[in-house]
Amino acid sequence: MDLIWDGLREAARLLAQGDAEVIEITLRTLAISASATALALALGVPFGALLALRRFPGRGLIVAAVNTGLGMPPVVVGLLIVLLLWRSGPFGSLNLIYTPYAMVAAQFLLALPLVIGFSLTAIQALPSKLLDQMRALGANRAQMLWLMMRETRLGILAAVMAGFGAAISEVGASMQVGGNLDGDTRVLTTATVLETSRGNFEVAIALGLILVMMAYLVNLALTGVQQRRPV
Amino acid sequence: MSDPHVEIRELIVERGGRQVLAVPELQLARREVTAVIGPNGSGKSTLLAALQLLLPLKQGRLLLDGEPIAGDPVAARRRMAAAFQEPLLLSMSVRENVELPLRLRGLGRRERRQAADAWLERFGITALARRPARALSGGEAQRVSLARAFAARPEVLLLDEPFAGVDAPTREQLLEDFARILAAARPTTILVTHDRGEALRLADHVAVLIEGRLRQWGTPQQVFSAPADEEVAAFVGVENVWPARLLELRDGLAIWQAGPLTIETAPLDGVETSLICVRPEQVTLSSPSNAADPSSARNHAVGRIRAAHSEGPFMRVAVELEGGGAQLVADISRVSWDELELAVGVSVSGTFKASAVHVIPGREGAAGERG
């Protein structure tokens, strides 16, 4: 028990003192995961809308692929990004392996199926008559997407939460494509793994607590928006 | 029509390989109201959806001001506005809903707000402006939906049974306000309705769709008094349709035999067989001993009341005619029903004027017995 209590006490001290390295890792984590989630939203919501509204050959295969992606093992995504960005790989010349950009790419791929899946479900649930009314009001394609997002904002926020949750809690792929480089690609999850393996449990606990708190605060804010009295 | 605002040519819509709408030609004059009536599933809503390019057309051309609209659906829709039986409001405030079509057209905030407030006032819902649109009653929501359609400043207004989902007292007030607002704004309007009263009250022309086909187009008077065929007659509430054979032409009148009835009408050239149509409200009932003067109401028949039921302020009375095989249906006021001491089983005389009779030529034997 001492191990846990000492760890918690030390974690509290680190947090209270505002350790520079911990703050840096926290901000980097937030930046990478938020970027990945934002990208996943930008692509995933329109794609989810397309899958929800259009019938075309191969749609069933794509929806099945999206559903498979909901449970995609992060290490497989990590491997894919490594293969793409490896120096001799198709995008090797971009020199992105072991950079935060590679981590954004991996987290984006993990969040994307979640965002598509949630958007697809939410938009599919909109009554077709309401969509006809939006068109009849004169909405163009972009305005249709905006109106659909407004009408399904609970579902879209669920997509944001799920996407962000998947991105920020992911460790395997970040390790593979980021390399856990100190001061460059180290994020809360990879740092927690490292400190745990070194036996620095108090630091690992502190990092873990920050991770959980950050996920909680982001979701608290989103839930606040989600549960606001609908207009 | 010299300068039609909206033209439909050779329109065919299929659904699941089955033809659900075929309109060879329909023209709508500028600023006129056309009521599209017909039974459920007759293609009325499909016609509106086709006009807004909300569904794929098998073939056909839709013209607005003589120009095809198919090339740019969004631009075409922005010249129109639509309101449906369900108000279909978005989850925003009432004012934002009414502003929405203008927002989609890129108008500035101030202009949107002014227009929305003006329409909210016209529809008597200014007090609801800040309310969540999804929290309104049915009547209030439909007012918002109509205000939103008018706020779009449409050249063509498309209405799909907008009063059908509203309860009766609310509906009457809404119809009254709507009629006043429509008369003032006067966009070219298509009103899909199953309600004859709405068509008579609001429409300049009536188009009858049955089984996806345009069966008749004309003024409300023409369509309701002179239906083009038996099915139109049935739909527009002509309860008396009798197959008839021409007996003779006498004194400038045609004399027809329709079962036990001998009926006088205006003559038709070269027509030997027909369906004789009489609206129930054109029939007067009286005691057989006190029958109306045959010279003013040339057609009369005697029979026994078989059934009667209330139709709002009227009584609908079915009379089994003497001689058998035919029935006469009359709508009479409750006051008349009471004054004449009518009841099921009582003998009555039914009369109707020659001018109340509409003749559909050439269909003897086509009509079954109706009533």
CATH value at residue A26: 1.10.3720.10
Contact assessment for residue B147 and residue B120, using Cβ atoms and an 8 Å cutoff:
yes
Measured distance CA(B281)–CA(B294) in Å, rounded: 18
Q: Which two tokens stand for residue B313?
A: 């302020």
Q: Which residue type does B352 have? A: F
Q: What percentage of chain A reaches a pLDDT higher than 70? A: 98
Q: Which residues of B touch A151 (CB under 8 A)?
A: 90-91
ipTM above 0.90, yes or no: no
Report pLDDT for B116. Answer: 97
Contact assessment for residue A117 and residue A158, using Cβ atoms and an 8 Å cutoff:
no
Measured distance CA(B315)–CA(B164) in Å, rounded: 24
Contact assessment for residue B292 and residue B284, using Cβ atoms and an 8 Å cutoff:
yes
Distance (Å) from the alpha carbon of B281 to chain A's nearest alpha carbon: 39
- Find tokens 């911990």 and name the residue: A22
Is position A95 within any domain? yes
Report pLDDT for B364. Answer: 46
Residue of A nearest to B82 (CA): A136
Is position A152 within any domain? yes
Report yes or no: A55 at the B interface, CB cutoff 8 Å.
no
Report yes or no: A225 at the B interface, CB cutoff 8 Å.
no
Q: Which residues of B touch A133 (CB under 8 A)?
A: 82, 84, 88
Report yes or no: A18 at the B interface, CB cutoff 8 Å.
no
Residue range A199-208: average pLDDT?
88
Nearest by CB to residue B90, choosing from A129, A140, A150, is A150
Report pLDDT for A229. Answer: 57
Residue range A131-158: average pLDDT?
94
Measured distance CA(B217)–CA(B198) in Å, rounded: 16
Q: Beta strands B253-258 and B240-250: pairing type?
A: antiparallel
Report yes or no: A230 at the B interface, CB cutoff 8 Å.
yes
Report yes or no: A150 at the B interface, CB cutoff 8 Å.
yes
Distance (Å) from the alpha carbon of A39 to chain B's nearest alpha carbon: 26
More confident residue, B109 or A72: B109
Full DSSP string of A39-78 = HHHHHHHHHHHHHHH---TTHHHHHHHHHHHTT--HHHHH
Report pLDDT for B296. Answer: 55
User: Own/partner pairs for B135-139, CB < 8 Å, 24+ apart?
Assistant: B136/B87, B136/B89, B136/B94, B138/B87, B138/B165, B138/B166, B138/B167, B138/B170, B139/B166, B139/B167, B139/B170, B139/B171, B139/B174
Report yes or no: A199 at the B interface, CB cutoff 8 Å.
no
Distance (Å) from the alpha carbon of B208 to chain A's nearest alpha carbon: 24
Judge whether residue A65 has pLDDT over 60. yes
Q: Which two tokens stand for residue B80?
A: 């129109």
User: For residue B310, which phi and psi values (nearest 5 degrees)?
Assistant: -80, 135
Distance (Å) from the alpha carbon of A212 to chain B's nearest alpha carbon: 34
Domain map (residue ranges) of chain B: 4-230, 238-361
- The single-letter DSSP state of residue A170 is -
Judge whether residue A218 has pLDDT over 90. no
Taking alpha carbons only, the member of B266, B254, B276 closest to residue B326 is B276
Contact assessment for residue B38 and residue B235, using Cβ atoms and an 8 Å cutoff:
yes
Alpha carbon of B190 to those of A39, B78, B187, B200: distances in Å?
45, 16, 9, 14
Most B CBs within 10 A among A137, A143, A149, hence the mutation to make, goes to A137
Which 3-state string (H, E, C) describes chain B? CCCEEEEEEEEEEEECCEEEEEEEEEEEECCCEEEEECCCCCCHHHHHHHHCCCCCCCEEEEEECCEECCCCHHHHHCCEEEECCCCCCCCCEHHHHHHHHHHHCCCCHHHHHHHHHHHHHHCCCHHHCCCEHHHCCHHHHHHHHHHHHHHCCCCEEEEECCCCCCCHHHHHHHHHHHHHHHHHHCCEEEEECCCHHHHHHHCCEEEEEECCEEEEEECHHHHHHCCCCHHHHHHCCCCEEEEEEEEEEECCEEEEEECCEEEEECCCCCCCEEEEEECHHHCEEECHHHCCCCCCCCEEEEEEEEEEEEECCEEEEEEEECCCCCEEEEEEEHHHHHHCCCCCCCEEEEEECHHHEEEEECCCCCCCCCC
Q: CB contacts < 8 Å between A and B, how many?
A: 62
Q: Which residues of chain B have a pLDDT value below 70?
A: 1-2, 290-297, 363-371
- Helix ranges (H only) for A18-152 are 20-53, 59-69, 74-85, 100-124, 128-136, 141-151
Alpha carbon of A50 to those of A53, A141, A143, B91, B275: distances in Å?
5, 11, 14, 22, 55
Nearest by CB to residue B54, choosing from A135, A230, A231, is A135
Q: Is B98 left (phi over 0), alpha (psi -120 to 50) or beta?
A: alpha
Measured distance CA(B230)–CA(B365) in Å, rounded: 12
Report pLDDT for A230. Answer: 52
Nearest by CB to residue B93, choosing from A140, A151, A231, is A231
Is position A231 within any domain? no
Nearest by CB to residue B77, choosing from A130, A138, A147, is A138
Report yes or no: A125 at the B interface, CB cutoff 8 Å.
no
Tell me the residues of B at the A interface, defined by beta carbons under 8 Å apart: 49, 52, 54, 73-74, 77-78, 80-82, 84, 86, 88, 90-93, 96, 100-101, 104-105, 132-134, 148, 152, 158
Q: What total number of domains does chain A contain?
A: 1
CA–chain centroid gap for B348, Å, is 32
Question: Which listed CATH number (3.40.1710.10, 3.30.420.40, 3.55.50.30, 3.40.50.300) goes with B4-230?
Answer: 3.40.50.300
Q: Which two tokens stand for residue B365?
A: 């034997």
Q: Which residues of A touch B81 (CB under 8 A)?
A: 136-137
Taking alpha carbons only, the member of B262, B332, B322 closest to residue B294 is B262
Q: What percentage of chain A reaches a pLDDT higher than 90? A: 68
Which residues are within 8 A (CB) of B135 and not within 5 positions of it... i.e. 6 or more apart? none
- Residue A15, classified by CB atoms within 10 Å of its CB into exposed (0-12), middle (13-18) or buried (19+), is middle
Which residues are within 8 A (CB) of A155 and not within 5 positions of it... i.e. 6 or more apart? A118, A119, A121, A122, A123, A125
Q: Which residues of A touch B86 (CB under 8 A)?
A: 129
Contact assessment for residue B133 and residue B91, using Cβ atoms and an 8 Å cutoff:
yes
Contact B91 A230 (CB under 8 A): yes
Residue of B nearest to A139 (CA): B104
Q: Which residues of A touch B91 (CB under 8 A)?
A: 150-151, 230-231
More confident residue, B119 or A203: B119
Nearest by CB to residue A138, choosing from B92, B101, B158, is B101
A224 pLDDT tier (thresholds 50, 70, 90): confident
Residue B368: CB atoms within 10 A of its CB come to 8
Q: Which CATH architecture has domain B238-361?
A: Beta Barrel (2.40)
Distance (Å) from the alpha carbon of B70 to chain A's nearest alpha carbon: 14
Q: Which residue type does A184 have? A: D
Measured distance CA(A106)–CA(B230) in Å, rounded: 70
Report pLDDT for B187. Answer: 96
- The single-letter DSSP state of residue A186 is -
Q: Which two tokens stand for residue B88?
A: 């279909």
Report pLDDT for A9. Answer: 86
Most A CBs within 10 A among B15, B52, B90, hence the mutation to make, goes to B90
Taking alpha carbons only, the member of B281, B280, B275, B248 closest to residue B264 is B248
Measured distance CA(B224)–CA(B35) in Å, rounded: 12
Q: Which domain holds residue A26?
A: 2-226
Distance (Å) from the alpha carbon of B89 to chain A's nearest alpha carbon: 8
Measured distance CA(B324)–CA(B303) in Å, rounded: 9
Nearest by CB to residue A138, choosing from B54, B92, B152, is B152
Listed by number, the residues of chain A in 130-149 with a beta carbon closer than 8 Å to a beta carbon of chain B are 130, 132-140, 143, 147
Contact B81 A130 (CB under 8 A): no
Q: Kindly report the length of chain A.
A: 231
